[in-house]
Amino acid sequence: MTKLVIGGAQMGPIQRADSRALVIDRMVALLERAAQAGVEMLVYPELALTTFFPRWYMTDPAEIDAFFERDMPNAATAPLFARARELRIAISFGYAELTPEGRRFNTAILTDRDGRIVGKYRKIHLPGHSEYDPERSHQHLEKRYFEPGDLGFPVWRNADVVMGMAICNDRRWPETYRCLGLQGVELIMIGYNTPSVNSQKGAEGLEKRLFHSDLSLQAGAYQNATYVVGVAKAGLEDGHPLIGGSIIVDPDGTVIARAKTEGDELIVAPCDFAACAFGKTTIFDFARHRRPEHYGRITAQVGATVEV
Ligand code: CDT
């Protein structure tokens, strides 16, 4: 069975004025540190190339387009792909995708260890709202700038491991992990940008925000007997705080690496994918224990209905 050293490249804040070149330099620096640590698969955050722009209400298409990538790789990201290929490190990172047809997605790509893109995922669970909301302490306009992903939850065999991706809010939904689990996933990579403040519940506090992140990632790992890597973009972006708390979780649900800062920081864990087999063949042996004949509501219904 395969062993792979997995890294999480937590990124500190990216200010609105920061250029793509500056961000790529930081990503390459993290890649170099990862190579020193023997990392073979490195995971970067959601929307890794820009600030978390859905916090701003924008109407000017040119202003919005400036945050999106039309091609991947492109001139700005080429040095990252080239260095990853030289170092033989597979990478995944998130970015805002503008397709040739003018569609906009919150996207993550996956490369193999030769720097070729082998996978693409488009975020399915888009949180927030689409119009300016004066009731909130800050805006979260993902529903304004993106459409829901149209690629489902695919997996890829990469470096001999069954890998899947999800993005930020997807990590709070058990459906995400189970769709991947049903394809035998062994490593789920999830980048995130999570505001440190709940815009609708200011008293919630940072500790609870971090707890909910851990809870979701650990439950997803345990219940599907898979490694999960959650990687933050963290810190103060133009006065708006984002949580850190990047972690690597083993298939038992145990945290085996954790970031300590809210800055650019590498977390590393040697992962033995043989460890996925126990859960997948015992308590979470889906073929023996699942009862899909009772799960119809999961796909037939969106909101909860009270029928009693
Ligand atoms: N980026 C992202 O998906 N963030 C959400 C914040 C939700 S609050 C509207 C998250 O789930 O962390």
Give 160-189 pLDDT, tens digit per residue.
999 999 999 999 999 999 999 999 999 999
| Residue partners of 49: CB distance under 8 A and separation at least 6 | 14, 20, 23, 24, 69, 76, 77, 93, 95, 96
Annotated catalytic residue, options 40, 123, 142, 271: 123
Q: Which domains does the chain have, with CATH numbers?
A: 3-300 (3.60.110.10)
pLDDT tens sequence across 204-215: 999 999 999 999
pLDDT tens sequence across 192-207: 999 999 999 999 999 9
Residue 169 Cα, ligand 1 centroid: separation in angstroms?
Answer: 5
Q: Is-catalytic flag, 46? A: yes
R_g of the chain computed on alpha carbons: 19
- The pTM assigned to this predicted structure is 0.98
pLDDT tens sequence across 97-144: 999 999 999 999 999 999 999 999 999 999 999 999 999 989 999 999
Segment (H or E) for 286: helix 286-289
At residue 167, what are phi and psi to the nearest 5 degrees?
A: -135, 120
3-state helix, strand, coil in the chain (%, to 5): 30, 25, 45
Ligand 1 atom, smallest distance to 168 CA: 3
Give the residue-averaged pLDDT of 244-261.
98
Quote the pLDDT of residue 30: 99
Give the residue-averaged pLDDT of 292-296.
98
3-state SS, 83-114, equals HHHHHCCEEEEEEEEECCCCCEEEEEEEECCC
Q: Is-catalytic flag, 123? A: yes
pLDDT tens sequence across 51-85: 999 999 999 999 999 999 999 999 999 999 999 99
**CA dist 204 to 132, 208, 238, Å?**
22, 6, 22
pLDDT at residue 1 greater than cutoff 80: no
* Closest residue by CA, ligand 1 atom 3: 169
pLDDT above 70 coverage of the chain, percent: 100
* Closest residue by CA, ligand 1 atom 1: 193
Q: Could you tell me the maximum CA-CA distance found in the chain, to the nearest angstrom?
A: 62
Identity at 159, one-letter amino acid code: A
Q: Is-catalytic flag, 168? A: yes
- 266 burial via Cβ count (<10 Å: 0-12, 13-18, 19+): buried
Give the residue-averaged pLDDT of 273-282.
98
Quote the pLDDT of residue 253: 98
Quote the pLDDT of residue 282: 98
Rounded Cα distance between 226 and 81, Å, is 27
